[in-house]
Amino acid sequence: MGQKLQDIVSTIQAQQNEIIREEINKPVLIQGVAGSGKTTILLHRLAYLFYAHKESIRANNSLIIAPNQMFIDYVSDVLPDLGIEKVDTQTYMFWGKKILGWNDHYTLSPLEEDLRFKEYKGSVEFLNILESYFNEFESNLLENIPYSRKERISRRYYELKEQFPNIDMEERLGLSVDFAFAQRQFDQAKSGYVDTYFNDDIEKKREILAYFSRSVNIYALYKKLFRTNLLDPDCGKYTLQAMTTSGKNTYYRIEDLAPMVFIHQKIYGTKGIERDYIMVDEAQDISYIQLATLINVAKNSNLTIAGDLAQSIIPPFYIKNWQGVIELTDKMTKKETSYHQLQRCYRTTVEIIDYANEIFKSKFPEGYKLPEAVLRHGDPVENVYLPNDFGKSSEKDIKIVVEKIKTQFEKGAVTCAVLCRDKNHATEIYSILKKYEEDIDRDVVSYTESDYKQGVLILPIEQAKGLEFDSVIIMDLNDALYPDTEITWRLLYVGMTRALHRLMIVTRSSHF
C-alpha cells in the first residue's frame, strides 16, 4: 500500500491540490466521476488539516463516514501511510446506533421495503415534518408537567431557548425546573414564610424529571409521529408494521435510523458528540436526513462530502442533484458551500473509459458530464462468451474463466475482483471458484470476510463502491440478472469503473 500511495501522491493534480488545501470552517462538496481521486483527496485533505490546523482539528476527534466495512478496511490501510492515526471510520448505520446507545438487539426489520415511503422518510420534506413534530412534542411536554406552577417552568424554558439556543433540551428542562423551585423559595422568603416542605420539593422535582425522562424515549417518541395527522396514514401503517419488539429484539427500518438520530440531537444536543472534522465518502447514497444529522455534529461547519451522482446505486436514490444538498447545507450552517467538480478519471485506462462511456452516455443523469480518461492506454476490454451462466457451466467452460483469472496475475495484478449482481449471486460464484483456488494460485476471498485483501475477491457490485482493483471481471452479464433498468446501468457503471488496468465481461450473449 505504501508504494501505491506514493504513486497516488505523484499524480495529484492542481485542481485536486486546491481542494485538499481548501480553507476550514465551511462545508465543501466534491462531485467527481469514477476514478477522479475523490477518496484520495478526502484522505489527503485530512492529513493536511491535521498538520496545518493541529490546534483546532484533531485526528482523534474527527470522523470518516464510509459506505461499507470493506471500504473501511481499505481506508484503514491507507491512513497510516499518510501519518494519520486514530481517525474514527464508521458506516452511518454503526455511527447512528452508537449515538442512540443501541446494542445488537436493535435489528433491521426483515419486512419488504416500499421505496416510495423510504424515499419520503429521507427527504427534506420529512425533515421539516420532524421539526414540526418536535415543536409540537415540546409544547405538549411543558403543558403536561405534573406541577401546579408548571407555567413558571415553561416560561423559563422558552427564555433559555431564546437566550441560549445552544443549550440542549434536556439541560434546558433541568435548569428551568431548578429555577422554578428556587423562585418559589425566594418568593416565600421574601414574604417571611418559612418553608417546612423542603423534602417535599425534592420529591416533586424528582417526579417532574422522571416525567421528562419517560417522555423522551426516542424509539417510542418516533413511533408516535406515525399516529399523528402530520403524515399519510399509509406511511404510518408501513412504518409501524416494522417498528415492533419481539423477545429481546427491537426492529426498525433502515431509513428510520437517521430521523431517530435527528430527534435524539434535538433533545440531548450535540455537545458530547461534536467532531472537529467530518468526511463523508460516497455521499450520493446518503439521505438528506442522514446529511442533516452529520451537519449538526460538524464543529464550525467543518465538513467535506464527496460523491458521484452516476454512482448512486442504493434505491431510492435520495439525491437527484447536488443543488438540494447545497441548499440544505447552506441553510443549516449559515455558510456558503464550496463546490468542486472533477471530470478527469485517473484510475482506469482510455480503453475502459471509452467502453463504459459508449454504453452509458445516454443513461447518465441529465446534465452529467462524461468522465475524461487521462491518456493511459492498456488492454482492450475482453468479452468471454459462455453457452450458459457461470453457475450452470460445464467444468470445461469454468476452467476457461479460471485460466482467464490466472492470466490476470501473470500480467502483474495483485487484486482481481469478480463482481456479481448481488449477495446471492456472489455466494454462488464463490462456491464454484473456491474449488479452483490451487489452479489460480491465489486466495479466493468471499465478500463476507469484509476485508480488502490481495487475491481474487468475489463480491456484489454494491460492495465494491469506492474501491479499485487491478483487474475486474463482471460475471454473468445477461438480461435476467441485469434488465434494462436505472439501477442496472448504475451498478454496471460502478462495476466497470473499479478496474485499474483490465476489464473482462463474462456473458451468454453480445447484448451488452
d(CA 195, CA 157): 25
User: Grid coordinates standing for 491?
Assistant: 451498478
Residue 32 annotated as binding site: yes
Instruction: Please state the separation of Cα 117 from the chain's center in Å.
Output: 19
Ramachandran angles phi, psi of 305, nearest 5°: -125, 145
161 to 139, 267, 349: CA distances (angstroms): 13, 12, 57
- Please check if 362 is assigned to a binding site: no
* Strands annotated E in 387-453: 415-420, 444-446
Which single residue is written with the C-alpha cell 504513486? Answer: 7
Is 33 annotated in a binding site? The answer is: yes
Strand partners, 420: 460
Name the β-bridge partners of 65.
90, 280
| 204 appears as a binding residue in the annotation | no
220 is in an annotated binding site: no
Q: How many alpha carbons fall within 13 Å on the CB side of residue 349?
A: 17
Residues 6 or more apart in contact with residue 430 via CB below 8 angstroms: 444, 446, 447, 458
Say if residue 456 carries a ligand binding annotation: no
How far is 286 from 497, CA to CA, in rounded Å? 21
Helix (H) or strand (E) holding 88: strand 88-91
Residue 307 labelled as part of a binding site: no
Residue 406 annotated in ligand binding: no
3-state helix, strand, coil split of the chain in percent (to 5) is 50, 15, 35
Task: Point out the annotated binding site.
Answer: 32-39
Task: Point out the annotated binding site for ATP.
Answer: 32-39
